[in-house]
Structure formats: C-alpha cells, structure tokens
Structure 1
C-alpha cells in the first residue's frame, strides 16, 4: 500500500485541503484511494510517536494502525493529512533549523508502516510570512529571543528537505509553494490522490474563487467552457492571466508583525526564499509543483 503523508508549514492550510479531499472521497474510493477522517488517526499517530521514543515498533503495530484507520475499508493508497506531523507550532524552530524533528518523525513513520511505501507531500511558504504566524502565540520577549538565536535569513527549506532525504533516501517527496496554491490546487489534489494529469476533481477552483472577483470567475469559467481541451499547463497560464486582471487585492495582503520586521527584511527574506526554492529542484527524488 502507498501511504501518503501530507503536512505543511504551519498556517499554510486552514483545513481546505482536507475538505477538498473529503469532497472527492467517493470518487477516490472507486480508485482504491482512501481518505479517512482525521479523527481516526491523528491521536493514534501522536501516541505512536510517543511510544517509539528510542524503541522499535511492535510486530503488529502497523496492522493495528491500518485496521483502526481504514475501519474495514480496503485501499491501495491511503492519504493522511496533519499539519502537526513534524510537531506543534512550538517545534517549528529549533537548533537553527525549520522543523528540527522532521527527519526523526519521518523515520518513525517509515518504521510504523514498514511494509508499505510512504510518500511525503508538503506545502512551504516564504519565511517572511511563515515566521510571524508560527510565532504568533509567543510573547514579544519570546519572539525576540527566538529570532536572536535563529536569524531568519538562515532558515532554509532546502536544508529541511536535505535532512529528510538523508534520513529516507528512496521516499518520494512532493512539495509546492503556498503562494502558488490557488493556481496549482487541482494538481496538488491529484498528486496526493495519485491521479493522472487532467483528471477531474471536485473543487479544483475553490481557492481561486476566494481571491478573484465574481466577475473574474464568471469570465474564467466561460473561457474554460469555450476552450474545453486546455492542458493543465495552459489552464494555469489562463488562471494567472485572469488573476492579473481580477484578483482581489485585499485577499492577497498579509499582516506581518514581529520585532524588527521591516520592509527591507521582508524583501531580503523573499529573495533568499526564491533562491532556496530553486535549490530544492536539485534534491534527488523531490518533485516541485509549480504554476
């Protein structure tokens, strides 16, 4: 069985991905793709992580987990999603790294699902927007201490995925930038479900609708009806063109509030982020979904 673990930089997803997957659950089931509700596995996996601290899983641990998760359902592909696979927000930074527990958690998952093929799918985002949200619940003093100990310029996604790749050299990894998600949403859902390019899904334009005016969406859907044979690449180009004209500016703005967070720093972090994303393509076995 293929077991797909979806996670994301905290706050890159507010449950919309899970909602979209569940809206497609019946169609996915016909393809032997299971999308269990998170209530069936999040606590189970959390407890399993705790039990695996320095120990080897019990011989029947995998079968017990799968039976509890699938609940008499059968599947060739199992999709599990949780933004806390790498730890809660307080573990987002540590040792000068993003998600210092990530490689260890993926090794644990590989041990738990030892007879299966595991895969990681994850959204990343610009540290300039990620850090203010990840540290939102920390006090101003804690924020200042964390940022002093870990300069934001040093936090690289390529370092995170290099660590994960060293831990699990053969595991497929699929990632995408949260900033691109409205345009690549159908491709992201297909990647998780293991579908072929162009296969229809429910809710493929849900995120686009959130940031585009009603008039823009009306014209966009009319364009698709008039051009039914567009490829995925062509559809993405059309989406970008319509967003250029009809995007809702207020939906694209994000409030950034951290000590010392200046316009110059945001610009610097954005440039580092862009260069870092380019480096991700050099990691073996990593697929980057782009517009």
Structure 2
C-alpha cells in the first residue's frame, strides 16, 4: 500500500507545447516563464528550456524507435525538475516535431509527428501527458517555413507533396493515433492576440482566475502605442467579466489602432496568384471545422 502511494505521488501532468514551427517565435515560453514564480505556488513548474530541449531531443534520437528502459522516465523527470516540486510541468519547443527543413520528410506534411508522439508517450508511460499545438494558414505558413528551411524553392522544400495535402487535421490525427489517450489542444496562430492570456492558462493548467503577467504581450505587437495606452486604460476602468467580452473589446480597439504592416502578411512565393492564396485559405478554414470536431481535441478560438 505504502509503495503504491509513493508511485502515485511521483506521477505528473506533463504539458508539452510542440509547435508548430513558424507560429510562435518563442513567445509562449517567454510568457510562461514570466509567470513561473506565481505558477509554482499552484504546483506548476515551468523550467528553463535549456534544462530539457537538448535532453529530450537526444534521448528520443538515441532510442531509434525502441522502448526506453524503465528508469529513463525518472532520470528525465529528475533532470528537468532539478530540486523543484509540483504536480505539473510545462515544456515548450516550437520545433519539437522537427526542424523546418524536415517538415515534408518523405514528401508528407509533418510525417515525423507519428514517431515523436509515440516516443513521447513511451518516455512518460504513467504520467498524464497533454500536447499543445498552434497551427497557421498554409498560405502564410509555407512561405515562412521555406525561409526557415535550407531549401531554395518551394518544390524542393515540399519534396513532392502537393498543396492540397497540407492539412493540419492529418497531422493532428496522426498525433492522436500514435499516442492514444493523450489529448491535443489546438489553436490558430491568427487568433493568438485575442486568446493569449487564456492560452497561457490552458497550457499551464492553472486556475482560470489566475492573474497573468504579460497577457497582452502579443497584442502590443500589432496595435499602436496610443491604442495600447487607451486599451489598457479602458480595461482598467471597465474590467470585462468574461473572456468573450474581453475579446470584443480587443477587436474594437484593433479596428481603430491596428498596425497594418503587422497584421497584413505579404505572401512571396513565385507563381502564386491571389486566387491560389484564396483557395488555400478556404481549404484551411474547412480544415479548422474538421479539427474542431475531432474526438480528443480541444480547439481554442475567439
């Protein structure tokens, strides 16, 4: 009986932000770290990335698809937590699935997601693992990912994959299939200014009423200084009672004070026409509807 209780105490919630590439720019982990001290009071540990990114990457690579040794899990947890104690640990790596150059490994969109999900499940077999992924309209994602890769042309980058095969729902389905029982939380990169504070709470798992430091960090990158000043003054004098009301206020201020050069993305792919971009965007919107209905998925949206 005593041994059973000790094992249960060791079990943890492990939240892993796995990307995707070109959606985050490390903003999420920076915001999480800003709140690390207050989160720790709720038993939520946000370790520095240098304590786990290389460690996890090398451990998963060395396994080569093999089942890890029984003690591997405890070694990893000890190294990640060091002397901190809590019931939940939050890890983040925008390139967890793969670096941009390997997004179309084997001619399939994020083909490496399957193996990564399965290995992660095997590394933490008795813990409550949850995955978090931000996705992005392929019309803007592909140009940015191409820039971040070593490829010279889009054809080289996609390695034979077709544009109509770039579906995030396929990636998420592979995550779910290869890590059964592990829930996946999804959001759109385009929505992050509206949902940033909620997103930090979701990933960290803290109480929904927890005050978030830097909850408007992303908003200030797309709103003028004057707009942010007025927005913060309004929020202070008229505190919104719900997330929905707060998002409505944000939308109202963005209508007047948005920085156009920050919210309108230039798409520079040779041969792409406006019609092609509209077609890709429409397919993405259809894909979002499919993702929102997938069992095992929590889809965060404004």
If the length of structure 1 is used for normalisation, what is the TM-score?
Answer: 0.95
For 1:54 and 1:150, locate their aligned partners in 2 and report how far apart those are by CA, in whole Å. 25
Task: Give deviations 1:211-265, integer Å, cap 9, x for gaps.
Answer: 1112211221122122225211110111111111210101113232223222221
Contact 1:12 1:124 in 2 (8 A): yes
Contact 2:101 2:151 in 1 (8 A): no
Report whether the alignment pairs 1:129 with 2:140: yes
2:96 corresponds to: 85
- Quote the offset at 1:168 in angstroms: 2.2
Which segments of 5 or more consecutive residues in structure 2 lack a partner in the other structure? 1-11
2:71 corresponds to: 60
1:14 corresponds to: 25
Aligned residues: 290
Cα-Cα RMSD:
1.5
Runs of 4+ in 1 over 4 A off after TM superposition: none
For 1:139 and 1:149, locate their aligned partners in 2 and report how far apart those are by CA, in whole Å. 13
User: What secondary structure is seen at the aligned counterpart in 2 of 1:8?
Assistant: coil
- Quote the offset at 1:195 in angstroms: 2.3
Contact 1:96 1:155 in 2 (8 A): no
User: What secondary structure is seen at the aligned counterpart in 1 of 2:17?
Assistant: strand
1:191 corresponds to: 202
Match of 1:99 among 79, 97, 110: 110
For 1:244 and 1:150, locate their aligned partners in 2 and report how far apart those are by CA, in whole Å. 38
Q: Which moved more, 1:213-222 or 1:25-34?
A: 213-222
Match of 1:267 among 246, 254, 278: 278
- Quote the offset at 1:192 in angstroms: 0.7
- Quote the offset at 1:199 in angstroms: 2.5
Contact 2:114 2:175 in 1 (8 A): yes
Q: Which moved more, 1:110-119 or 1:252-261?
A: 252-261
1:282 corresponds to: 293
Report whether the alignment pairs 1:228 with 2:239: yes
For 1:205 and 1:172, locate their aligned partners in 2 and report how far apart those are by CA, in whole Å. 27
Report whether the alignment pairs 1:50 with 2:48: no
Match of 1:170 among 164, 167, 181: 181
Match of 1:252 among 263, 269, 272: 263
Contact 2:220 2:228 in 1 (8 A): yes
For 2:64 and 2:293, locate their aligned partners in 1 and report how far apart those are by CA, in whole Å. 32
For 2:79 and 2:98, locate their aligned partners in 1 and report how far apart those are by CA, in whole Å. 22
For 1:164 and 1:175, locate their aligned partners in 2 and report how far apart those are by CA, in whole Å. 12
- Quote the offset at 1:116 in angstroms: 0.6
For 1:54 and 1:178, locate their aligned partners in 2 and report how far apart those are by CA, in whole Å. 31
- Quote the offset at 1:287 in angstroms: 0.6
User: What secondary structure is seen at the aligned counterpart in 2 of 1:200?
Assistant: coil
Task: Give deviations 1:110-147, integer Å, cap 9, x for gaps.
Answer: 1111121100011000001111111114443x422444
Which segments of 5 or more consecutive residues in structure 1 lack a partner in the other structure? none
Q: Which moved more, 1:95-104 or 1:178-187?
A: 95-104
If the length of structure 2 is used for normalisation, what is the TM-score?
Answer: 0.92
User: What secondary structure is seen at the aligned counterpart in 1 of 2:18?
Assistant: strand
